[in-house]
Amino acid sequence: MKELRDKLKKIAIEKEGAKELSSGALVLETGDFTGRSPNAKRIVLDDSTRDTIDWDNSTSISIDGWEKFKDSFLEHAKGVTLFDNCVYAGHTNFFGISVRVKTELAWHSLFAMNMFSEIEDCDADFDLYYVPSFSVDPHVIISFEEKIILISGTRYAGELKKSVFTVLNHMLPEHGIFPMHCSINLDSNFENPTVFFGLSGTGKTTLSADPNRNLIGDDEHGWSPDGVFNFEGGCYAKVINISQESEPEIWKASQMQNSILENVILKNGVPDFFDNSLTDNTRSSYPLEYIDNSIKDRSSKLQPKDVVLLTCDAFSILPAIAKLTPQEAWKFFMIGYTSKVAGTERGVNTPTATFSPCFGSPFMTRKPNVYAELLKNYLEQSGANCWMLNTGWTNGPVGRGNRIFLEDTREILSKIYSGELASLETFEHPYTGLNVPKLIDVDLTLLKPEFGWINTSKYEESCTFLLNEMVKALQD
């Protein structure tokens, strides 16, 4: 595979504008689209999807529309040199699919090799074509019946991995496996798995890449009666504002031989991770093995000990930590409250409150309650503790307060890992009704956010608004 990688890298440098770091890592720009295009994805409406897709959350394309698009797409592709390789998404000991990936850009082929397990050849379960030149506007179309994924109009590599994630999310519930938009790590003894749910920008990658823990993966996993497993063979980390001091594992992994940096600005041949002149959604793709404490097998036969639901509360309403019952976890998972962080999606320039069921609604094809019931059932069966961990703002909302310090979040996490937090008594937060552990060695505003506001009545007003929005989201 090294020979193929070297060939693809050379093409990316000579013909696709890639720049090579002294380490061998590639740096590229994705053009107009520096994040996912959420309105681009459509699923073919046919007999296999008519009653299984949540059409309130998914956009359909008719069979006739699909046939016309597919025919035009594939005719166009005949005139383009495509790079062809095979990868495996999922885990051979649990569940997965083989995907034949055909890309117009050499670096997209390298990206696929980073993100999934490379295989020599395959009788593919799915065929994925990524041909940006076919259209001006982004398109991501999936046919479950014909087992084809067609992507065009954008060079943002995240569309490739998320389309495969969408396919697995649809298939796994039929096998009693819970597909999760999450990261997972284990303790130093390779025990006590901790699962982190959360949308982009809430901290899944950062918090799971802990030098004192062992990483299974940072984004996409399955939870089965036999354990947990990573869908991917790589990481796709958001790298805006990272430094060697703040996030040494990701910083190092982003600048190694096969790493790919998207929309990162170079200064004198060195990545400037603090420069957001192209986007706040700068990204790094690298093989999971580049994280020193990653687990080679990408799985664990143990059931999770702790499940953490991450949220980035831009309004400084929620406590930094709360303990959830399985039923409360079901509700919080169905609501999926967080704030979209600038740059994660095209057109999002400032933090905005959003409600994304399952903390990954754009990638979940079935009704949200299908996934929420799987979470609740697995929590009850495993006995895992469940936590809401807020990585958003304290001492007031965006514009007045400050984001919760990463050091404070990590200190709370250390108490989750040790079991200390689960042993503490809790108090009911009077405004949100959440059960908050009685921590005595943290800033009180993290447990009682109202204390950080200059005007308590303004906090109460904002809290009432947010809770009402949560109720509406749950009803919807």
Q: Which residues are catalytic?
A: 36, 162, 181, 200, 204-205, 219, 283
Strand order of the β-sheet with 60-61 is 60-61, 41-44, 139-143, 148-152, 126-130, 95-103, 83-91, 117-119
C-alpha 110: how far from chain center: 20
Both tokens of 257, joined, read 């031989």
Both tokens of 31, joined, read 């053009």
Say if CB 400 and CB 407 are below 8 A apart: no
Phi-psi domain of 216 (left: phi exceeds 0; alpha: psi -120 through 50; beta: other): alpha
Say if CB 90 and CB 222 are below 8 A apart: yes
In whole angstroms, what is the distance from residue 20 CA to residue 270 CA? Answer: 10
In whole angstroms, what is the distance from residue 81 CA to residue 451 CA? Answer: 61
The sign of the CA dihedral 105, 106, 109, 111 is negative
In order of 312, 318, 453, 463, the CA distances from 460 in angstroms are 19, 12, 10, 5
**Residue 63 DSSP SS3:** helix
In whole angstroms, what is the distance from residue 270 CA to residue 13 CA? Answer: 17
Secondary structure element (H or E) that encloses residue 115, with its range: helix 106-115
Both tokens of 387, joined, read 């936590």
In whole angstroms, what is the distance from residue 38 CA to residue 139 CA? Answer: 10
CB atoms closer than 10 angstroms to residue 351: 22
Q: Which amino acid is at 291?
A: I
In order of 68, 187, 193, 331, the CA distances from 184 in angstroms are 41, 10, 7, 22
Both tokens of 264, joined, read 């990162």
10 Å CB burial of residue 367 (0-12, 13-18, 19+) is: middle
